[in-house]
Amino acid sequence: MASGRRIPKQMEAMADSVATVAAPADVPAKPRGTRARMMRQYDLVERVRSYNPNTDEDMLNRAYVYAMMAHGEQTRASGDPYFSHPLEVAAILTNLKLDDATIVAALLHDTIEDTEATRTEIDKLFGHEIGSLVEGLTKLKRLELVSREAKQAENLRKLLLAIADDVRVLLIKLADRLHNMRTLEFVPPAARQRIAEETLDIYAPLAGRMGMQEMREELEDLSFRTLDPEAFAVVMQRLDALAERNRNLIGEIETQLSANLAKNGISAEVTGRRKRPFSIWTKMERKSVGFEQLSDIYGFRVVLNDVEACYRALGVVHTTWPMVPGRFKDYISTPKQNDYRSLHTTVIGPGQQRVELQFRTQDMNQIAEYGIAAHAFYKDGVGSPTELLNRESNAFAWLRHTIEMLSESSNPEEFLEHTKLELFHDQVFCFTPKGKLIALPRAANVIDFAYAVHTDVGNSAVGCKINGKFAPLSSELQNGDEVEVLTSSVQSAPPAAWESLARTGKARAAIRRATRTAMRDQYAGLGRRIVERLFARAKIEYADDKLKGALPRLARASIEEVMASVGRGEMKASDVARAMYPDYKEERTARFGGKKPDKPGPKSASEPAKVGAAVPIGGIHSGLPVKFAPNGGAVPGDRIIGIVTPGEGITIYPIHSPALKDFEEEPERWLDVKWDIDETTPQRFPARLFVQNVNEPGSLAQIAGVIAEHDGNIDNINMSRRSPDFTELTIDLEVYDLKHLSAIIAQLRAKAVVAHVERVNG
């Protein structure tokens, strides 16, 4: 080997002196702890060359040396040099006939996580493709450790598929786990238990899901032996006893079957095997039957030239031996969802032994044995990078297809069988800087992430870094992203617009809650202004303590709540005054007429407010009380109409008020009136505005601010409807005249938070 001399002397010596557990293990595996010679560089290259004559030997050699140097003196629990592990993982993958990139990535798979090696260096030495495979494995390993600590096995299962954007990452991961399981005896018992459980829960079903039945069975049996050694021993003992009793049965059936098929002109390759301990055990458990009652301890695989031959061979078998009813399945015309195709049947064969048979073509057999790996196979003459890429993406498309099929399974039986391993391509998995795993639905962004970490983090989020780089909070997250949320102590409520950006219900609910609280604070501030204004005008004393005493009368729990109620228009400031001073009488003339009460304190109940006296309307020659339209009032500059209500008085409506429609049938009630303003004593008049504002904290304050700055008095604010994006407010205010009102409307329209303003009359 040309590059062999690059290995340092002591490494060479190490390679000679150490062990291997190279051969793909069958169960029961060969005795552990006997160290074989560690696979040498040329052994590995030979294995690859046997199925891929165009292999890049130089690259394989460089990877071998690089990984060996990187792991240096590190050892495994067994005492073996650590390097023996990636080497065995690579060897397992050569059994699957995988391409150079996969084999090289397998050699390097633990280097970034466990040694000084970096992604950049690997990219430089072995190219981007291999670099990204190794990084995928590094991410998986990190996630695995994190999930384990946080007992997030559920998440781990999801992430395995979600994170692997290259199917080869999963293949290497499975080979990695297989080798770890084969050498599990060296690990301390507690860890052994956990690793075996994880394998049984996650990796074995994953292998099965990917159609890799051999891999699945070995993982299951290795786990089974660790988790339940007694049951494992019992099953093995029974299997051995049965084998003793039915000595040569497999050989006999194989011979008979081949002869029968040949007689009918069908050439076939027949191989028999007994079922694996774990599958026998689960069948015994599931069906609550004893070992003897299990019918299908033996299985035979008949590989044929084409589909037609499969059906013909089935016919031959059924006419030779009696078939067991209800056991026939045609997975050729209706393939399983992981692409598995075969004909299945069970017959009562020689010695009254039930045997299970599977008929399939060579191609189907490859899928059945290698599953997804069969799609990633090195194929002779298909070695160019582009073709390789296409092949990989085909394999991946196949996996994705499988995932989709399984998640929308139309076959409940198949679906239930796999519920333990649901596939979660609809999720993304990210980390906090401390390594906590956060699982979110796909298309989630940093806002969702922040709220998933903690509500306070979400509420005070002002920026973020994704993988160390500044990014907008609306950035969609990718699997494996490390997200640092930057917070500000100044911000206690998020912009309401986030509610429509957030993807998760949790974030949306928290944003709504926070903005609602912020809005309440604003309403409370506004309510306080209204209350204080009323008290000042009425020249009565306001004090929090006094209001506190009046809380029961107002049926509110706190001063804050009272003020918010007033701010929202649910309660009148005069109600507050009355609760504090039971003798207080609302003085409407004070509002519209500018007439102030003579002295502070409650007015006498014997002096009803005479509104009419102060309303500056001409054309009324009666002593009737005059008031303004209840919903929206009227201001000087409006053309106005008086409506007479017998026994009550005259109500002034602006001519544009839709309420006038109600009186169209009663012309006798209409009264021509006009303003009679005294220019020297400015007076305020009621008007109502409808405002649609962008729903964010501070917007209400801005609106109230504009009105105040332009000398308008807010009398009442009512929040009539809220959509996620907008709040609709009905504001009753007092202005001097139409010009004044128009100026305020124009100023409001100029505000960015205001979407729409109009004057309304009810």
Catalytic residues: 113-114
Nearer of residues 76 and 425 to Mn ion, judged by Cβ: 76
Instruction: Rule CB under 5 A: say whether 587 interacts with Mn ion.
Output: no
Task: Report the Cα 255 to chain-centroid distance in Å.
Answer: 55
Q: Is cis: bond before 630, omega within 30 of 0?
A: no
Instruction: Rule CB under 5 A: say whether 198 interacts with Mn ion.
Output: no
Least Cβ distance, residue 64 to Mn ion (angstroms): 16
- Segment near Mn ion (CB under 5 A), from 105-113, 237-245, 552-560, 677-685? 105-113
Least Cβ distance, residue 186 to Mn ion (angstroms): 14
- Segment near Mn ion (CB under 5 A), from 109-117, 297-305, 476-484, 746-754? 109-117
The full DSSP string for 499-550 is HHH--SHHHHHHHHHHHHHHHHHHHHHHHHHHHHHHHHHTT----HHHHHHH
Least Cβ distance, residue 371 to Mn ion (angstroms): 21
CA dist 359 to 150, 318, 364, Å?
46, 12, 9
Least Cβ distance, residue 523 to Mn ion (angstroms): 60
Q: Who's near 197: CB < 8 A, 6+ residues apart?
A: 223, 227
Q: How many chain residues are in contact with Mn ion, going by CB under 5 A?
A: 2
What 3-state class would DSSP assign to 151?
coil
- Segment near Mn ion (CB under 5 A), from 174-182, 473-481, 539-547, 670-678? 174-182
Nearer of residues 179 and 529 to Mn ion, judged by Cβ: 179
| Cα distance between residue 287 and residue 761, in whole Å | 77
Alpha-carbon dihedral sign for residues 71, 72, 73, 79: positive
Query: Nearest residue by C-beta to Mn ion?
Result: 176
The answer to whether 629 and 652 are in contact (CB under 8 A) is yes
Nearer of residues 176 and 221 to Mn ion, judged by Cβ: 176
Least Cβ distance, residue 48 to Mn ion (angstroms): 20
Considering only 57, 144, 176, 715, the residue that binds Mn ion (CB under 5 A) is 176
- Segment near Mn ion (CB under 5 A), from 10-18, 108-116, 609-617, 690-698? 108-116
Nearer of residues 107 and 452 to Mn ion, judged by Cβ: 107
Nearer of residues 146 and 700 to Mn ion, judged by Cβ: 146
Nearest to 183 by CA among 78, 260, 268, 94: 78
- Segment near Mn ion (CB under 5 A), from 169-177, 258-266, 442-450, 559-567? 169-177
Nearer of residues 176 and 484 to Mn ion, judged by Cβ: 176
- Segment near Mn ion (CB under 5 A), from 113-121, 170-178, 244-252, 645-653? 170-178
Nearer of residues 176 and 696 to Mn ion, judged by Cβ: 176
| Cα distance between residue 720 and residue 379, in whole Å | 70
The enclosing H or E element of 714 equals strand 713-722
| Cα distance between residue 617 and residue 605, in whole Å | 27
| Cα distance between residue 466 and residue 280, in whole Å | 49
The answer to whether 407 and 425 are in contact (CB under 8 A) is yes
Region for residue 11 given its phi and psi (left: phi exceeds 0; alpha: psi -120 to 50; beta: otherwise): alpha
| Cα distance between residue 99 and residue 378, in whole Å | 5
Least Cβ distance, residue 147 to Mn ion (angstroms): 16
| Cα distance between residue 460 and residue 559, in whole Å | 27
Least Cβ distance, residue 258 to Mn ion (angstroms): 42
CA dist 483 to 106, 161, 451, 480, Å?
28, 21, 12, 9
Instruction: Rule CB under 5 A: say whether 110 interacts with Mn ion.
Output: yes
Least Cβ distance, residue 154 to Mn ion (angstroms): 23
Q: Which residue has the tokens 């609106």?
A: 703
Nearer of residues 106 and 242 to Mn ion, judged by Cβ: 106
Residue ranges in contact with Mn ion by CB under 5 A: 110, 176
